[in-house]
Structure formats: structure tokens, C-alpha cells
Structure 1
Amino acid sequence: MRPTAIVRNLIGRASGGLRRAATVVVATAALAACNVAAPGGSGAGGVRGDGAVKVALLVPYGSSRGSDTTVARSLENAARMAAADLGAGSVEIEVYPTQGTAGGASAAATRAVQAGSQVILGPLYADNAAAAGVAAAGSGIPVLSFSNNTAIAGGNVWVLGNTFENTARRLLQYAAGQGRNRVLVTHATDQAGQVAREAIQAAARGTGAQITGAVPYELSQAGIASAVPTIAEQARSSGSNAVFLTGNTAGDLPVISQLLSETGIGGEDFRYLGLTRWDIPADALQLPGLQGGYFALPDQGAIQQFRTRYSARYGGAPHPIANLAYDGMAAIGAIAARGQTVGRNTLTSRAGFAGTGGVFRLRGDGTIDRALAVAQVVNRSAQVVSPAPNSFGGAGF
């Protein structure tokens, strides 16, 4: 099959993404190495106060990264929009710049604790969140970070970003229900690929799916091409009926999906499952190898409503992660509205909270459950085949 111009462009972009991978690997390895100290004293039990809940918003103002100011502004806007929705007197936001560094986040968290904050919302980067957690650990103040790196979750730190484990759990459970219960994992040999593989293996427990093996590949076109025969042989010899692709549309996904499909691995015999969003950019849905495959995404109606409201209020589109600030504020406000302290017990309520992309809940280990829909690529478009659950008692949880 000759690739279309769109597909060739995607593969060309992927090549650039593969060349840039070394920088990402170094950053990911550094973040994954961060650990959060266990809280002392009352731990993450929460801090009581009178009147409005005092929220310290830690965002990367003052960062040397060119894009961080834009991200910080979008996060602040979303948090303030949520506060306005909660009503006057519910929450009080104080913004603390972190400069986008661990040292800056630690200093900001320390100032927030000294100023009497009852909860910290943010910071953005995993190493920043780990540092803020350590700084606040002895105060009983929870940290709701904008990270999705589970390596820093736990103690008094939670991640609000969607995680690999959450996505993998949803897809594996759905796929097993469709008879795709023997899953081979493919992953890059870099740190991010290792994290992805481990997340899928951990998520498989209790889903009805069995991981039949994992085949690594070097993160380059040559590396992927070299690994494809091994992946194909193992998919067949292990009796697999699904293949988990951990790559993304800006990197390895266009390359591996095309090369594998050309060997007969894919389609009806070996259903592809995607750990990343396949509809960003939308052109990726044109990839021949992805046709029929499954990937997960949040409730699009809910997230679009948030984006529309944000744009009407601020005159521009929100940053893709701005909704995390809104969700964090919504959880804080829901707890405060019940007259409860924002702390471990209330944050980890089994009922969860209503968020911008559907319901979510924070787990005792610092990770997150987010309701996700499952979409299938059909005729080069994404069709939702299993809607996002609207509670934590239904399918998908």
C-alpha cells in the first residue's frame, strides 16, 4: 500500500520527533528519579481554617522556558474561572511563581505554608511537584500537582494529569471484553518507553487481559525497522490477538504502525491499542495501520464545554492542560461546600468529583482515576465505541 501525502508527512514529522528523543529521555529519566518524602505529623490530613479555603496556586511564572509563561497564565485563568463558578467566599487563590524549577517550587511551597495556605494546587513539572511535596510534607497540606508522572505520586502529593496506567487499564478492560485478551506490548528502549511498558503491565491486573510479552525497539527508524520482524514473530507465536502501541503521533507511532501492518500484524487479527491520543493531530487518523485500532480519550462533550466557556471568558483557547487547574479547584470547592477539610480522607472519596473531561477521583497512592471513552478508528475517523463512564460503579472502572 502506497502511503498518502498526509501519511508521508506524518512519518516525516515522526522522524524529527525520533531525532529529538534524546533530550526527552534525559528529562524523563531525571523526573522519574524524584521521590517525595513521606509526610510527617498529621501527614496529608488537611489543615482546618475559617471562611474561604486558602489555595496556593504554584505555576511557572518567571521560567526561562519560552512557553511557560503562556502555560502559567492559562492555568491561572482556569483556576480563577473555577473559583468564580464556586461562588464568592468559597476559595481564596494566591499565586506563587515557581520559575519552572525544583528550587523555585520548593521556595514557593515553603512561602505558601508560612502564609497559611490549606492546599497547594500545582506545580507543573514532576521534579517541581516532588520538591513542593517535600517542602509541604510536615505541614499536613496536600499538593495537587499538574503532573502525570506517577513516580512522584504518594505521601502528600497527587497527580491530576491522566496517567499511562489509567489509559492502559481502560483500554485493556474494554479490549478483553471484545475478546482481545492476549496483548503483546511494543515499546521504545528509552526511559519513557520503559515507563510505558511497566504501566501497561501493572494496569493489566484485574482487567481480564493477559500480557503475552513485551518487545523493545531503538527509538529510530532503523531501530523500529530492525525490531518489526521480532515483533511479528512473537505476536504470532504467543497467540496474541492485540498489540499495544506505546508511541505517539509526533514520534514512533506512524513508523511502527505502517511497518507492522505491512507484515500482516494489525487489522482484524491483531487489534492495535494506543497508549496515546491518535486524534492529535487529526491527520494521524489517516494512517492505514491504525484503522480498526482502539485508543482512549476524555468525554469530548465535557471538555469542549470547558474550552468554549474559557474562550468566551478570556478571548482565546486554553492550553491543553489548563483543565487540570479547573479540576483541582472543582475538587477543592466540592469538599469545602460540604463543610469539610481538604485533606487525604476527603480528597480520596470513592465517589470522586465532576471534572472538565468527565468524572475523576484521587487514589490513596497519589495517582488518579479519570473516566475515559474508548474510540475506534473507522474509515479514517474516530468513533466512540464505549462512552466515558459517568460514575465509578459502571464499566471502565
Structure 2
Amino acid sequence: MLAFLNELNPLRGARKPVKAVVPALLALSLAACATTPPEPVIQPVIPEPEPVIEEPVIEEPEPEPVDTGLIPPHMQDQEIVRVALLLPFSAESSGLRGESLRLLRAAELALFERAGSNLVMIPKDTGGTPEGAQSAATAAIADGADLIIGPLLGSSVNAAGAISRANDVPMIAFSTDLSTAGDGVYLLSFPPQLEVARVVEYTSRQGVDRFAYLGPQNAYGMAVYNALQNEAEMNTGYVAAESFYTGDVEAMSRAASRLAEGVFEPLTPEEADALRQEEWMPSEDAPFQAVILPEGGVRLRALAPLLISQPVDPLVVRFLGTGLWMDERLQREPALAGGWFAGPDQSSRSRFKTSYEVAYGSEPSRIASLAYDAMALAAHLDGGEDGYSAAALENPEGFFGADGLFRFGPDGVIERGLAVYQMHPRGFREIEPAPQSFEPEAF
């Protein structure tokens, strides 16, 4: 649950009585929600769900808008706050449609756990296209939206952002494309640059100054590679080797060979046993001491063993990852044992996960928490003296959400307090906790 830093750093502005008590950690007990929350006031028009979706979507017509904006009949006498939720409910991709439903459910969960009786959620369908996002944003503005949450895709954020900026309505979007942020558009997401910065800073403090990159030559991979170069240099290190691939396991194998073939000698059994008994230390003789692998799931399980065959032994070279490694299915992959990666605070995440499972009978996706945090933030700021202004959204003290500490910079880009984890067969081992507050001079 989203718990804001009220006790540590009180936010400005009086609150309405209905929200007078906002706990210090936005991770209040999600487990307290033992029943499915009621239906939201307004439901989106959602296409027929995929067969894998267990719960049917109940269609409910939207109330007719009036001159002062969209107001349900039973709320005519209240001061309404409207929050639009833009998602690709009717996208061609079944994956996008399924993700939209999970994001909607998470937003509903926050709405009924955190919001007062005067907040109305207005879902809008972007169709998964920039044109659809622009139309959805235009419709949201016409309905009197005070804040827009979403869209999900970078191209859609650009299109909808043009509408929100022109109408001076702030937007909290879910894209990791940092170029879409700014001028009233805020990105609540998991940019890989933040994860790379955290794990590289930690690894550098352990004595590593020579890094390597082995990963895809796509947008995500290049974002990781560029961040690795920048962060290694900032920590007095450098990227000593890199190898890119585009394609399947065969392409991965060739890239692994280019990166490391002939530069490492296989460990003898005696050497390996000796290293297992000692705390890992970076080798002064190795051409690189740590290598980052920006993959996840099945592709990561295919990539990591290819390095060992070269042989790049994780007993000598520390394997590093991004938030894609936060996958329980990867814990028993021998090649990843001992690897380090940065990710959200798991204690906060587990509370959200429990609440979502109790409410909907299924697990949330990795990014479902973004919609929860966005709606909980909307509920928290509703009623404050600064409302949804830049001053309120860019509070340098930050907020606590389902994924831990976060805040927005003046450029609209998110900053997160991340923990560092080690891969272990019995679970992710936290080796450095996430921070509980931000340094005030960071912005």
C-alpha cells in the first residue's frame, strides 16, 4: 500500500477530514483487505476478455456528462475530483489487453482502499495506438479530468501528453521511455537506467572497476549499455568489453564467444572449491570483473550458461542484472547463483501482492503496482492545498508506494529507492536494503 512520508516529513496542506489519517508508510496493511473491493463508480468499455481471464468484466454505462464535467447522479452535491485512467483495453495484442485489466484492477484496489468518496475514476481505452491515446486524452479532458493516469506505451504517452499539456492537466504515465517525460508528464515506471545505476554503484564499492556488457542490441539493451558506461565512469571504472546480439540462442552464443573466448582459463576443481570457501573479491588479473546480462525469463536462462562455457566462471566474474531478474523461476538457474541485481523493496511489494491476490484471486503482474501507486498518489494529493500541482507531485521528500520509496524530479523522471539482491536457490537475498529517505540535495 502506498504510505507517504507524513511522520518523517509532513507534507504541506490541510487534509479533508475523510483523509485526515494517512499512515507514514504507504505500505499500510494491504492484508487487511480480505474481500473483493466494490465495483468502481464508472467502468470502462472493455472488449470481451480472453479465455484465460477468470473473472468477467461487468459492463456498466458511464453517466452522461454535465456542464461541469462527468458527475455520477449520486455525487451531484459533492466537490468531485476526476482521475482518468488511459489503458489499451482493446489493443490487438492479447498481452496488452491482459495487462490493461491487471492495471485496472490495481487502480480499483487503490481507489477503494485509499480514496475518499469524492474521487471518480474514469477509464478510457487507447486501443494501443497513438491515435487512440490522443482521442482518449481528449475525451478525458472533456469529461473534466483533473489528473490523467497512463498511457502505457511510449508512443501513446507522447500523443496523449500533447493533449494533457495543452490543457494544463498533469499526467502520470507508465512508459520507461525517458524522452516522453517533462512539462507536466511524469513517468511512474521502472527505467532500467535506475537499476543499472544502483547495482553498478554497489559493485564499484566492492572493488570492481572493469565491467562488461553482454546483451541484446534493442532499445532496452542499449539503454542498459549506455547507463553502464555512464555509471561505471561516475564510479571511477570503465566498460572493458561489450558484445551485442540480435536473435535467438545461436546469436547469443556467438556474442558470448566474441566477448570472452580465450581470455579466461577454466578453473580446476581445486581452484573452484577454494573460491567457494572464500568471500568473493574482484580479480586483479581478470580482463573484466563483472558482466551485466540485461535479459529475463527463458532468454536469461539460455544466455547465462553460454558464458560459463567460454569459460567465464561466476566464481571469478560477478554476473549482474536488472529488475528483469526479479523472477522466482530464475532462482534455481545454477549459472546465475551469486549474481547481483537491483530491484524494488520486497517487503512493500509483498503487502501489495497479498492484497491483490485476496481481492482478485490471481497474482498481479510486475507492473500492476504502478497503477496502484498512481491512484493512491491521486487519492493522497486530493484535498491538499497544492492539489495536483507540480509542487505537490515533485515533493522532494518523495512517497512510499507498493514498490518502496519514489519521487518525481522536475523533469518528470522517476527516482526510486532500490535494494540490491543476490540470486540464491532459496530466494532473493537482500544484501543492501533500499533507502528509507532521499538525500535532499539530489535534485
Q: Same fold (TM over 0.5)?
A: yes
Q: Which amino acid aligns with 1:357?
A: D
Tell me, in whole angstroms, the C-alpha distance in 2 between the residues paired with 1:235 and 1:359: 41
Tell me, in whole angstroms, the C-alpha distance in 2 between the residues paired with 1:129 and 1:235: 45
Q: Which amino acid aligns with 2:181?
A: A
Alignment check: 8 A CA contact 1:130 1:157 kept? no
Alignment check: 8 A CA contact 2:404 2:417 kept? yes
Alignment check: 8 A CA contact 1:56 1:120 kept? yes
Tell me, in whole angstroms, the C-alpha distance in 2 between the residues paired with 1:333 and 1:203: 36
Q: Which amino acid aligns with 2:301?
A: P
1:277 aligns with 2:328: no
Q: Secondary structure at the match of 1:277?
A: helix
Corresponding residue for 1:335?
Answer: 381
Corresponding residue for 2:349?
Answer: 303
Alignment check: 8 A CA contact 1:277 1:296 kept? no
1:268 aligns with 2:315: yes
Gap change, CA 1:145 and 1:214, over 3 Å in 2: same
Q: Runs in 1 of length 4+ with deviation above 4 angstroms?
A: 233-238
Tell me, in whole angstroms, the C-alpha distance in 1 between the residues paired with 2:98 and 2:356: 15
Tell me, in whole angstroms, the C-alpha distance in 1 between the residues paired with 2:241 and 2:288: 9
TM-score (norm 1): 0.78
Q: Secondary structure at the match of 1:308?
A: helix
Alignment map for 1:115-194 (pairs within 5 Å): 115-194=143-222
Gap change, CA 1:306 and 1:188, over 3 Å in 2: same
Corresponding residue for 2:100?
Answer: 72
Of 290, 301, 308, which residue of structure 2 is paired with 1:254?
A: 301
Matched residues, percent identical? 30
Corresponding residue for 2:22?
Answer: none
Q: CA deviation at 1:94?
A: 1.4
Q: CA deviation at 1:332?
A: 2.3
Deviation string, structure 1 residues 39-85 (Cα, Å, up to 9, x no partner)? xxxxxxxxxxx944321111222333334443333222222222223
Alignment check: 8 A CA contact 2:294 2:324 kept? no
Name structure 1 gaps, 5 residues minimum. Answer: 1-49
Q: Which amino acid aligns with 1:170?
A: R
Higher mean C-alpha deviation, range 271-280 or range 117-126 = 271-280
Q: Which amino acid aligns with 1:247?
A: E
Deviation string, structure 1 residues 202-230 (Cα, Å, up to 9, x no partner)? 44464454333432234332222222233
Of 223, 231, 240, which residue of structure 1 is paired with 2:288?
A: 240
Tell me, in whole angstroms, the C-alpha distance in 2 between the residues paired with 1:208 and 1:318: 39
1:393 aligns with 2:439: yes
Q: CA deviation at 1:175?
A: 0.9
Higher mean C-alpha deviation, range 158-167 or range 83-92 = 83-92
Of 80, 87, 91, which residue of structure 2 is paired with 1:59?
A: 87
State the superposition RMSD in angstroms.
2.7
Tell me, in whole angstroms, the C-alpha distance in 2 between the residues paired with 1:82 and 1:207: 39
Tell me, in whole angstroms, the C-alpha distance in 1 between the residues paired with 2:295 and 2:366: 19
Q: CA deviation at 1:292?
A: 1.5
1:324 aligns with 2:370: yes
Tell me, in whole angstroms, the C-alpha distance in 2 between the residues paired with 1:52 and 1:247: 44
Higher mean C-alpha deviation, range 369-378 or range 309-318 = 309-318
Name structure 2 gaps, 5 residues minimum. Answer: 1-77, 265-284
Q: Secondary structure at the match of 2:202?
A: helix
Corresponding residue for 1:31?
Answer: none
Gap change, CA 1:277 and 1:66, over 3 Å in 2: closer
Alignment check: 8 A CA contact 1:54 1:94 kept? yes
Alignment check: 8 A CA contact 2:165 2:184 kept? yes
Alignment check: 8 A CA contact 2:150 2:173 kept? yes
Corresponding residue for 2:271?
Answer: none
Corresponding residue for 2:140?
Answer: 112
Of 233, 244, 257, which residue of structure 2 is paired with 1:229?
A: 257
Deviation string, structure 1 residues 157-213 (Cα, Å, up to 9, x no partner)? 222110110110111111112122321122223343223312333444644543334
Alignment check: 8 A CA contact 1:300 1:357 kept? yes
Instruction: Give aligned pairs, total.
Output: 345
Alignment check: 8 A CA contact 1:173 1:209 kept? no
Larger radius of gyration: 2
Q: Secondary structure at the match of 1:148?
A: coil
Alignment check: 8 A CA contact 1:172 1:209 kept? no
